Structure 1
Amino acid sequence: MDKHRILLVDDSPNELRILMEILKDKYAIVAATSGFQALKMIEDDAQIELVLLDVMMPDLDGYETCEKIHQISPDLPVMFVSGNTQTEEILKGFDVGGLDYLTKPIDAKLVSRKVDVVLDERKKMHELEDENKSSTDMVMSVIASAGHLGTVLGFLRSGLKIKTPEGLVSALFDVFDGLNIDACVQLRLENRVINRSSDMVMTPLEKDLLERASQMTSRFLEKGSRYIVNFENVSVIIKNMPVDDEMARGDLRDNLMMIIEDTNALSMKVGQLGADQGAQFSEVKANLTLRDELLDVVATMKMVENIELEHKQKSLDLLDDMLLELEASFFNMGITQYQEESITQIVQGRAKQINGHIEEALHVEENLAALRERIKVASELLS
């Protein structure tokens, strides 16, 4: 295991040797004899974990050096070493960011124990920061997943309102936008194919890949940032899957499978709905045609009925005129009373028969009129 790296800073070589003897067995020691040299070493060596810093140094004293150290590395702990034990000096050390204050002459056991404590606390702090970062990442991942799940659920709910294939494709790309996904989609219906891309214009290569995807025997294929999903009626190419975050990739993969599987099911519904609408349109068109035909039949029957009534009335009028003319002509025929009565009986008998036939025809006309009304009602129901 690598030793913790400590920087000792003192303008006195003798003081440096004392500290090095105390700490060299447990720690990796580097040393500087001035504040400026210490700053240069900290800039060049990111492995330094602790600085033991003398206060009284020429050019740049310990307090100024500490302030500049924290400009370079804000979290690097600094312990002051000084022969000045006045409270004001100790407080000044804390004011500039010192973590502890060791007084000279050096107590080896005290120095060793305090260094151990500082480095142990630093280790715990880093572990806590890592845990916090991990927890934060997890929380952010959960929040992102919840947001993605909300987008997915919104799409699943909207499926109840989607009526057309175009509406289905638009809803699918709304979800992709919410998930920050660039994609190409092929939706296969009974009588046509819809291709669409997030970039609006689909390249020939993308079209070829979608055609190949539609022939896949497996449900999905992954290659770097590309993710291809294929169902019976829909194929999707995702062009920007995350490659460095496996958790995000897995979460997105699960959501995509739900979305695309639901899209496949909805494609069957909207396709059938379109077919049903076409059938309904054909049925309505046929009904309208039948209605028009029935109305024509009603009109024709009415016309025939009127003509027949007119002819029957004329026949009755002619028959009445014939009887009147026959009676008037008897005076000029020179026939006997018996002959006149016989002829009159024959004519009246035939007239009675004719009237009977006319009555029967009128009864038939009543039935035709009733039929005409029924046809008229049927045509109105088809409207």
Structure 2
Amino acid sequence: MSKLKITVIDDSAEDIHLLLSILKDDYQINAAKSAKQAFELFKQQKPDVVLLDVNMPDMDGYEACKIIKEDPELNSIDVIFLSANDSTDEIIRGLELGALDYIVKPYDSELLLQKVRSATSRVKSTHQLKEQADQANQIVYTMLSESAGLSTTINYFRNCFSANDLNDLMKATLSAFNDINLNAALYFHIGNQRLAFTSNGDPTMLEQELLERFSAYEQPFFEQGERMFVVQEHLVLLIKNMPTDNEKRGSLKDHLMTLLEGCRAKLELFKKLNESSSKKLTQIYKAIDEAQSVLANLQSKQEEHKKVSLSILDEMVAEVEKSFFSMGLTDTQEHTLLTILSETGTRSLEHMESGLKLDEHIKQCVLNLSKAAADALR
């Protein structure tokens, strides 16, 4: 393993020379006479440990330490303060800023080496833990691409093909992404149907807008940092935490595309079912519309038929009354005959009225069916 890197920051050339003489055999040493100069050095090579003088012009050690610990690129550097001030308050202040240790000047060479070795030992342990973590992650992704990936795919396809609607399919797909620790947002668009959800629930307004915009994107992928948009027919997928390692990213993309093949197949089935249902509903709506027209025409004819029937009854009664003079009937006979005619005419009219009411019921049923079909087509 190469030597660990230490940067000495001290405005005293004499102190820098002393530290170099103590540490040069065991470590790779850089030196700077100000914090500003040190930060320029950090751009070229980031050290593992910084020996930082507290009392310096322009920027003291405390301010420099604060900048180091607040910078995501530098905050892993272990800082050891060097100071002639051994007050408890000063030491506590240094520790509160995130320093690893505090050495009081003038320092004993052996004590200095002991503290630096302790710091570098910690750095080595951190490096080893990181390597182990990277190896563990690699194992996880290897498992994903092999047996675990196959298991996830089988379970997803089972849930996918048993989905009854877009909501079921959305839940099954997001659940599969959750199983492989992906933070995802998913957008379906089939005909007039639109549906969007994320692993955590509803998407934000910005996510919703981006998903809708990418539905018209012509390329299958759009990648930026940890975010990746996958654009397929009828769907847009946003992954928010894709690995930045190219090998892992490529393996995961292959796995995602396998999952999305199942999703697309189900979406295509939903599309065909919707088209078939819409076609049938259109035919039903057309038939209902024709029935309405026929019914309206029939009702008009029945109204006319009623008027003609009333006219015929009136003419019949008038003709019978005229014939009374030639028939030689008594008043009682005439009254009886007219009563029979009147009652028969009334019953005939009542029968026609009931037929018209039945027509109204039929008409209302047809209207209700028409409304239901129109609603289904929306």
Using the size of structure 1 for normalisation, the TM-score is 0.49
Q: Pick the structure with greater CA Rg.
A: 1
Query: TM (normalized to structure 2)?
Result: 0.50
